[in-house]
A and B are shown apart, each in its own frame.
Chain A
Amino acid sequence: MFTRHERLKPSYDVVIIGAGGHGLAAAYYLARDHGIRDVAILEKGYLGGGNTGRNTTIIRSNYLTPEGVQFYDESVRLWQDLSQDFDLNLFYSTRGHFTLAHTDAAMRTMRWRAEVNKHFGVASEAVDSQAVRAAIPMMDMTCGGHAPVVGALYHAPGAIARHDAVAWGYGRGADQRGAEIHQNTEVVAIELEDQGSGARVAGVITNRGRIATRKVLCAVAGFTPRLLAMVGLRSPIYIHPLQAMVSEPIKPWLDPIIVSASLHVYVSQSARGELVMGASLDPYELHSTRSTLDFAESLAAHMLDLFPFLSDVKVNRQWAGLADMTPDFAPIMGLTPVRGFYLDSGWGTWGFKATPVCGKTMSYTVAKDADHPLIKGFTFDRFARYALTAEKGAASVGH
């Protein structure tokens, strides 16, 4: 599927660190839209082995801030014809997405999100409990009697897709256009010319040798703080594991995607019949993808609040990824104080859906050395300006 390159060249126009969906998409659009093909994508493990291959694949654009809604809406648009573009089935499946409200306060937030969404032409509406019952007849609307569903935010474009295929599609597309993908190639240091405010990128050091380059795109999700330390930058990003699990395959019975922030659970049923389930972030910093029984137990308990008939269904697999979290639940993208060092990070628990639009906007940013208009709300310097982009209301459990 990919060309094997035995050697690294001594220099490239652009070096992309991280062969997750984001790095590969950026390489794809750099070649396709900007004609920049002298690109190396360096991956310390294997292609798509990071959060891209670990996520629960929910795609939606029903966020809360105008910056977020417009950005994710563009991503949902880009998703539509990707299977055609790649000639590869991404199993993109539009399901509809319900964010359940169990309290009046939650219902108010749903209305707020619906109004912001509609203003930007995104199909979201607040619906009552009757509509929820009609769409999900197998759900216990009282949630075991202790958290009755009073309504929901319904988002018709909500979708899921095959995550591995996204990495393969972008990777193959980039490869066919001349970009080089180097797996088992870890960046261990970044060379800068000048220090302090005039610092700019001169090259990267890898476990396979040195590469000269003037432009580095860093798309390493949970490893971002380590890469930032290599160029002497500090950021608000903090790293907590995010866990998930799937059930054994069962007959199709759940069409829409269901999220409940109060019960800390979200779930969809994959094309194979597995229930793909997740919850909130692990409670403290950890740079390890271990799994815990605490997580499986509490997620299973909440699943049974919603769907008591699942009590005999077995859990097949459990895993974790390292989420690069930000205080405002919005990403950190674009130019940085180090010239030629571009960042695509802070994607925490919500960045899979953004893979196409991140590739689009970051390729533009790298090619033109200027932030793409759609990422102006997500810049590195917004914290120093105390100008946060408060997306927590739409991203904390729903991802």
Chain B
Amino acid sequence: MKLMTCPINGPRAISEFVCAGEVRAMPDPATSSDAAWADYVFNRNAVPAVKQEWWCHTPSGVWFIAERDTSTDTIHRTYLYQPGCLLQPERAA
């Protein structure tokens, strides 16, 4: 059974978690161009890499960040969100 470590509840079966995709910085909707907004809404970085992703432990509702290698499914680290923890800098609209 594949396990993932919830930062609050510890190691649990992967079936208890859902992935909400890569952490992405949202452009400011008030000032963003339509093209930049469409890029944010639809486009994804689907090239294999170690990525920061949003995950949720569904029985407890804990949202957290996992650093996972999407070519091997190796989970490197999991931790709660904290200001400054994002690898991708906030991007300009």
Contact = CB atoms under 8 A, between A and B. Distances in A.
Nearest to B19: A284
A226 B43 contact: no
A327 B42 contact: yes
Contacts, number: 56
Contact of A384 (B15, B35, B46, B48): B35
A229 interface: yes
A234 B19 contact: no
A58 B70 CA distance: 29
Interface of B is mostly: mixed
Given A283-B19, A288-B73, A229 B43 contact: no
A13 interface: no
Interface of A is mostly: loop
A286 B19 contact: no
Interface string B34-55: 1100110111111110010100
B39 A234 contact: yes
Interface string A213-249: 0000000000011100100001111110000000000
Nearest to A285: B70
B71 A287 contact: yes
A327 B22 CA distance: 15
A226 B47 CA distance: 6
A312 interface: no
A288 B42 contact: no
A120 interface: no
A118 B72 CA distance: 45
A294 B71 contact: no
A349 to B, nearest CB: 15
B18 interface: yes
Given A285-B19, A288-B73, A238 B38 contact: no
B47 A229 contact: yes
B19 A383 contact: no
Interface in A37-83: none
A386 interface: yes
Interface of A: 224-226, 229, 234-239, 283-288, 290, 292, 294, 327, 383-384, 386
16 contacts: A224-B46, A225-B44, A225-B46, A226-B47, A235-B43, A236-B44, A238-B21, A239-B46, A285-B19, A285-B21, A286-B73, A288-B72, A383-B38, A384-B35, A384-B39, A386-B38
